[in-house]
Amino acid sequence: MSGDVMPLAGQRILVTGASSGIGAATACLLGKLGAIVGVHYNKNYEGAKATCTKIKDMGARAELFQADLINPDGRWLLIHGVIKTFGGLNALVNNAGGLSSPREFNTLSHQDWIEVFELNVFAPAHLCQYVFAYMKKQKGGRIVNISSIGVKYGGSPTSLHYAAAKSALETMTLGLAKAGARHNILVNAIRPGFIMTPMNQDMTREECDKRVAMIPLHRSGKPEDIAEMIAYLLSPAASFITGQIFTVSGGD
């Protein structure tokens, strides 16, 4: 989307996990398009501050919001804080997620399953629940959930539980879209392919090359590739789109 127009002018948008990677790229693009951006982070204050500074340097408004999304209380306080600070909320981007415990399926503990579902399913579910109630009152809103290409393949040998969690997130997206339609709350999800983000920083060059070789466009994705799709789904151009899962993966 062109930065020469301001299709999101005045829209108050919260982006979770906006201290790096897809979240940071999304927050910056939304600011460039005129949005008022809530930059959420958990531990990476410096990264979030850098994101916030970039947005402000564009002449847009951005505010930092810290919350540990593993903590149920933190989820409510985050939404409450954003609405209080901005005087409302027009859109939520559930980007925060990840896999802290890559393990072979036979070695997964009960706690491994709980941890990955807390961050990738329960946290976005609660955030959606809180903003949904608010958006019903204001008669409209947008939610974009960030899934993973792993859902398509069932994950890797060490990320089956992560793929399962993202699959649950996609199912929730479909149900919320139906529930939100009558209130003009549009809910969609994006499946990023192999994107060069901090989540993949531990991969060796050989592992990266092998993964890229599977992609028809023969390159890894950039955080900006996903940010552009998110911005589109939040824009007026996507006012007739809900309940959809978009794969942005270079053809993978």
Catalytic residue numbers, as ranges: 162
Packing angle of the helix pair 223-234, 21-32 (nearest 10 deg)? 50
pLDDT for position 4: 56
pLDDT for position 151: 96
Token digits for 18?
A: 């906006």
pLDDT for position 102: 87
Block means of pLDDT (10 residues each) for the chain, 252 residues, are: 75 98 98 98 98 97 98 97 98 95 91 96 98 96 97 92 97 98 98 83 78 86 96 98 96 86
Backbone phi and psi for residue 41, each to the nearest 5 degrees, phi listed first:
-150, 165
* Structural domain boundaries in the chain: 12-247
User: Residue 154, exposed/middle/buried by CB under 10 A (0-12, 13-18, 19+)?
Assistant: exposed
Q: Which of 75, 73, 86 is nearest to 132 (CA)?
A: 75
The topology under which CATH files domain 12-247 is: Rossmann fold (3.40.50)
Q: How far apart are CA 194 and CA 221, in angstroms?
A: 6
Query: What pTM value is reported for the model?
Result: 0.94
